[in-house]
Each structure stands twice: as structure tokens, then as C-alpha cells.
Structure 1
Amino acid sequence: MIIPPHVLSAARQIDTAGYVYDLDILRSRLSQIEDALPLKRKHIHFATMANDHTNVLATIAETGHGVFVNSPLHLRLALSSGVAAKQTIYAASNMSGSEMRMCLNVGVHLVLDSAGQVASLDAIAPTNTPVGIRVNAGSAIEGPSLALEASYRFGLLADEVDAVQRSTRNLRITGVHCYFGTDILDPRTLLDGLDRLASIAVLLPDLEYVDGGGGFGIADDFDSPAFDLAAYGRGAAAIIARLEERLRRPVTLIVEPGRWLSAPIGWFFARVIDVKPRADRILAGVAASVVQFPRMLLHPEKARHPCEIVDGRHRLPAALPVWVTGNSTYSRDFLARGAALPNPKVGDLIAFHNAGAYCRSMRTRFLGKEDPEELFLHAPDERRPLVDAFANAAQ
């Protein structure tokens, strides 16, 4: 595990616990996706729920890419960070009428989740308003491959699409979207979903784009194979080419890289303040809590982050697995379970990798902990806040 020297230098400034982000890594990963997709028409959209800090969103805006949001707060943060309305996709299940009006007023692109949403927006939208629809083409949430579940809570069923598009008066359905799942490591799973989605998309006479939503995976350890970005790019380009040939018109691919894009840009650091040897493990207590680094709180059975003791590489490995425990009375306050680490000592700085996605954005008030420090390296220039302009447009 290698932490860049400039990241470590910043981390040593942290008193007890906090995040360090290198936004040049975000820029680099955006470029990698662009290079891996041999398509003329492609858009990259970052899911703001992965990391909603304005420095991250401003970097997305600075590089000319878009965002995918599902709440008024995240929409406000994105626009105030410089993301263009035309580069913003808004999608949420059970969307209220006030949300729909807000999106129409601001000028972002809506993706609708049900026949009811389509009917509600059609009743208030100006003539010829372009929208997308979310379709249930299968999900990999419960397993490694796509399963088509009629009870899946997201999207229209495939056999509803034709009737829905024929029912609209003011809307033009220009795109299809599907949420296949998150942290998917096998590109074949996402390509299977994209192919299924393309077969549904041909039902739409105004089709302009296909959005293969669902995140590229990040392995929980550094020994597992990485997501094969090149294989995904080749496969996606072939699927879009076949769709264009069938429709005899151009189609844009929208990519939502999910955790792959921002997880590696961040690290969480915490100081060891107590050590308890036990018969089957070593408990390393840190000056931080799982509510400040919360993927383990929300996904205790599967969330893992590679971790290491900074400056501990020359020590012998501990004879027992190390459990990193938080500074609360919550019985499940674990930041790492069964980690292979050197013997921890009071004062050690522990680094948790892949902390740039679904960490700070999942923080909770549970246990009453303060927000940890956050240090951003290579951040874009400060931008003039646009919140007032957003508020005026949204009314």
C-alpha cells in the first residue's frame, strides 16, 4: 500500500482524525475513463451521494463533466460549485411535485422512475420537454450477476415503456437509465445490463442517450484484480455501435463510474490512543468513530477498507488480527475488523484507503461526534457562490 508523500505530509497535520483528498487523482481518473471509451458521444456523470463536498463537485465542473443528483440539497451544492444545469441529471423515486417544478425552473434534466411520475410531470411541463426514464433491466445488488426482479423498487418494467411513451403530450422521452448496482467489479455484469437496456431503448422514437447507471467497483484489498476499464470501454462502444446501426442515428452513452471515480482520491487517518490485547485479537482504539468513517456502519457485513499503520512497515506483523475500535460506547464501533497489521502502539497513525466515496457523505449525528477534519490538495480556485441564483430560479 502506497500513500503519496504529499498526502502523508498533510495527514501529519491532523491532530486526531480526518480525511485527506488529492483532487489531482480525481482529474486523472476522469481522463482514464475518457481514454477508455472509444466513442465520439459520451458523458461522464459523478453521483453526488458518493461525495458531496463542494471542492469535489467544483473539480467535476472544472473538468467539464456532469453530476447525477437525487435531492434538492445536492442539486444546490452542485450548481453552487459551478456544475452547469445542462450537465446535471436529477432522478429520485417518489419525487414530489415541488421537486419536479424546481428541476423545470432550474433547467436540469429529469429521469423519471414510474408511470405516475411521467404523468405528473407531463401535466405541468412545457411542450417538448426532454426527459429520461429509469427502467428495470436487472440489478446486481444481491449477487455478482444481473437478476431481473419484478419487485425491484427502481424503474418502469420493460413492458410498461411503450405505453408510457405513447401517453405523453408535453414530454419527449429522450433517454433510458437503469441502476444495476454499486461497486461492481466485473465489467461483464455492467455490459450485460447495458445490452439489455439498449434492447429496451429501441422502443423510444426520440431516443438520444442510454445511461448505464451502476458503479464501477473498487476491490476491498489490493491483491484482488482491479475493474477492467479497457474491457468495459470496448464492450460499451460495441453495444452503442449496434444500437446506432439499428436506429440509424447517433446515440450518446452516459457513464456513472460511482465509487471507482472518487474512492481512491481520499484517505481517512486516525490516531491510536489505547491498545487492549485479548485472547483472539488486539483492540486498537482510535480517536475517531465509525460514525465519522461510516461505510462500516451502514454495510457492516461487506464494507472493508485496506488500512495500514503509517511508519509501521518495518515492524513485525502482530501475532493476532487487529480490530480498530472507535471512541464511543457503541458495541459495533469498528473501523476495521481482523486487519493484518503490525502491533499497534499508542500514538500510531492509521491510514484507511479508498475513503473518497461514501464516507464523509454518510456521516451521521448518531453518537454525537464532531465532523472530522478535511484537507484538500490541488483544489480548484474558489468560485463565486451561486446559491442565491439557484434559489431564485427554483421558485
Structure 2
Amino acid sequence: MPVSQNPISIQGVSLESISRKFGTPVYVYDGEKIISQIETLKQAFSEVPLKIKYATKALTNVNILKLVKRAGAEVDAVSIEEIKICMEAGFSAAEIMYTPSGVNFREVQEAVELGVMVNLDSISLMEDFGAAYGNSIPACIRINPHIMAGGNEKISVGHVQSKFGISIEQLTDILVIVKKFDLKIVGLHIHTGSDILDAEIFLKGGNVLFEAATNFPDLRFLDFGGGFKVTYKEGDPSTDVHEVGRIVSEAFQQFCTKYGRKLELWIEPGKFLVSESGYLIVESNVVKNTPQLTFVGVDSGLNHLIRPMMYDAFHDVYNLSNIDGDQETYNVVGYICETDTLAKNRKIGKVKKGDFLVFKNAGAYGFSMASNYNSRLRPAEVLVWEGKAHLIRKREEFHDLLRHQVILDI
């Protein structure tokens, strides 16, 4: 029987022991993997002045953010709440980029008061920002490069019909507003999408930035966004970040020579940093045989891991309790009153009631997109760091569901 490629421990800490100690469902993160991913990016872009801005929306636990800071990365936030969480983790305002989308201008003003850099995402936001601050507050502009890239269409964000950024075809309008309010633009930003394999896509987006950048004399950085693809299953391709780093860095250096001075190159990885570090451990509640399928019902569902339903995302799953046993084919489904198939037609070591199943690549957009749908409780989070399992979020309890409800005397 072949040796399983699925981990039974992290840094010597048994996943089963974590499940028994903290209960299920539980998210478990390998802190060393996060540090390793950051180091990989530093090496890939070692030829340029690099800033790694972790896309915090992927996973916002304060302890994960502290690890990111420890490794020398900074952060990108998309809400005022994310900004404040990053500050709780120890990031200074200067280390935070704020990239809002369609927010009330009051939130932008609050971000400015906190001292963070604002990434202007629309013509109307540029006008409001200019009217309020003129050239007193430096800012960045997010450009939509009209590049269709990424995996599922829901995570492709740089195409012509995307709501994100200002169309590159509106560059003239952008320049009119910059001149009108004497805006101090110190950065340009693009983000084409997620799960991008081809280094040429990053370069194509870079060329859009390079051409636009010649119109802005005060730039300090160009931000290439994120979108590096990670491996989800055996044989799955992933982004060759060293190739991306080499190709993009070379083009960036050539641009800086033409621009007349050196700039910083920023990237905003989210999934790449935390996805492979994360595991969702669940318990089998029932094995249900039907004439056509065998279902494994577990104590979780789309309320904890919505990516398979929302993005058709693939998460490899294995039976921790029977990791090298004879395999059978199952549909792994949740306990939500909705169609929440977490894994379809998967060969897994034979499952019985009470077995622990593990979903891999669950670090990004797992807990951060979790909900209380069906009035279910959100799970605990555990970080394995320096060979020990640490509880970093308590499992919710029933009273948490009522905490903010105002009960009337009816």
C-alpha cells in the first residue's frame, strides 16, 4: 500500500490530538508554512526593492497577522475594520494599504485620519478625495487593465466588466482630476485576478502600469497585486513565482531606468501566503448509502467552507482516522439545509461514523468567509507554532448568536 501524502501532524503535533483537544470542526494553521511562503516571494523578487502587502481578507486572525509582520511583510486592507485589526496586530499606519471598493466616503476619511495610504478605486472617489484633501495627502490609484485572468470568473477582477479599479481607457479623465485637485499620486496599482499561472499575464499587466506611470512624476511604487495560484490536488499546476519574479523584475528595472529613478515594487499575495497552511478538520456524523451514491455527512458545511459552492473550488480531503485504508468513493456533504457538497466523487479511505476528515488548502477564504447560517456556530481556530498547538479563536457558543439581538417584550 503506498505511503499517504496527506499529513497526520504539523511540526510534530498530531492533527488527531488537535481534533480531540479542541473539538471539531476546527481550522488549523501551520505557522511555519506562512513564514516559508513569504520567504519564497522575497527570494523570487530579490533583484528589486520589494514590499509584500499581505491581502488580509484571506485570513484576518490577529495572530496570523502578527506572524506576517514577524516575517517582514506589510498588509493590504479592504475595510476600515481590517485596518483596525491590522493595527491591533502591531502594524503601523505606514505599513497598511487601504483598497476600498464602493464604500461610503466617511470610511475613507476615517482611514485617512488613521494615517493609512488610500488606493483610489473610482473616478467619483478621486473627486471626493481631491475636494477633501487636495495634494495634502498622498494616494494611490487602482487601474483596471482590461485583462481577463484567473480561474473562476468570480475571482477575475481586472477585466473590462469588473467593478474594480478605474478603466485604463479613462486615463485621460484620471489625469484631468489629478490636475484639477493637484493630487499627489505616489503609486499605481493593478490586480487582474486569482489563480494566475502564466508569468506573461503579470508582465502584461505590468506593461499597462509602465505606460500609465509616465504620466505621474511623483511615484514611489508600482503595485502588481496578487493572484499567484497554489496547488490544490496532486498534479495540479501552480504559479512559478521565481519565473514571475525574474520576468517582472527585469521589466520593472528597465522601466525604472526610463522613468529616471528607482521605485518600489509591491505585490499583494493573500491565498499564496495562507492557503496551504490551513486545514479544516471535521467529524463524520453519518455514512448514508443510496442506490447511486454514498454520502458522508459531516459536522460542518457551507457555513464554514463556502468556496466549493461559491467558486467551484476544489479542496482535497482525506480520512485522518483511516489515512491509508482501502479507498471508497464518497460525496462529502455538510449539515446545512442547503445543497452544500464540500467534495464530490472523492476516493477516500473507508469512512465510518466518528472518523475525522481533513480538508486541505483551507487557510484562505475559509474562516474569513464563515457565517452563522442556519444559526450554526463558527468553529475554533488553532495555530501550530514552534511545535505547539495554540488556540487562537474560541469556538462560538449559543449565547454568541444572541449577543447583539435586542429582545423585545412581545
TM-score of the two chains, using structure 2 as the length reference: 0.86
Mean Cα displacement is larger for which, 165-174 or 234-243?
165-174
Q: Which of 17, 21, 27 matches 1:13?
A: 21
Q: Which of 206, 212, 225 matches 1:213?
A: 225
Offset, 1:361: 0.4
Equivalents in 2 of 1:72, 1:207: separation in Å? 25
Matches within 5 A, 1:1-395: 1-3=5-7, 4=10, 5-6=12-13, 8=15, 9-125=17-133, 127-137=135-145, 138-141=147-150, 149-168=159-178, 169-299=181-311, 302-318=312-328, 321-330=329-338, 332-378=339-385
Offset, 1:223: 1.6
Partner-residue secondary structure (3-state), 2:302: coil
For this pair of structures, how many residues does the alignment match?
Answer: 377
Offset, 1:359: 0.4
Mean Cα displacement is larger for which, 151-160 or 348-357?
151-160
Equivalents in 2 of 1:108, 1:17: separation in Å? 36
Equivalents in 1 of 2:284, 2:163: separation in Å? 42
Equivalents in 2 of 1:314, 1:6: separation in Å? 19
> Where in structure 1 are there 5+ consecutive unaligned residues?
383-395
Mean Cα displacement is larger for which, 355-364 or 366-375?
366-375
Offset, 1:363: 0.7
Offset, 1:106: 0.7
Offset, 1:244: 0.6
Offset, 1:94: 1.9
Residue pair 2:48, 2:265 contacting (<8 A) in 1 also = no
Equivalents in 2 of 1:173, 1:25: separation in Å? 36
Residue pair 1:295, 1:358 contacting (<8 A) in 2 also = yes
Q: Note closer, same or farther for the CA distance 1:17–1:334 as it changes in structure 2 (3 Å cut).
A: same
Residue pair 1:183, 1:260 contacting (<8 A) in 2 also = no
Q: Note closer, same or farther for the CA distance 1:11–1:198 as it changes in structure 2 (3 Å cut).
A: farther
Offset, 1:258: 2.2
Q: Note closer, same or farther for the CA distance 1:147–1:257 as it changes in structure 2 (3 Å cut).
A: closer
Equivalents in 1 of 2:84, 2:159: separation in Å? 34
Amino acid at match of 2:292: D
TM-score of the two chains, using structure 1 as the length reference: 0.89
> Where in structure 2 are there 5+ consecutive unaligned residues?
392-410
Partner-residue secondary structure (3-state), 1:13: helix
Offset, 1:110: 0.5
Offset, 1:211: 0.8
Deviation above 6 Å: which 4+ runs of structure 1? 379-382
Equivalents in 2 of 1:7, 1:228: separation in Å? 31
Q: Note closer, same or farther for the CA distance 1:157–1:343 as it changes in structure 2 (3 Å cut).
A: same
Amino acid at match of 1:251: L
Amino acid at match of 1:111: N
Q: Note closer, same or farther for the CA distance 1:154–1:358 as it changes in structure 2 (3 Å cut).
A: same
Residue pair 1:125, 1:170 contacting (<8 A) in 2 also = no
Mean Cα displacement is larger for which, 333-342 or 1-10?
1-10
Mean Cα displacement is larger for which, 347-356 or 153-162?
153-162
Mean Cα displacement is larger for which, 3-12 or 223-232?
3-12
Equivalents in 2 of 1:283, 1:197: separation in Å? 49
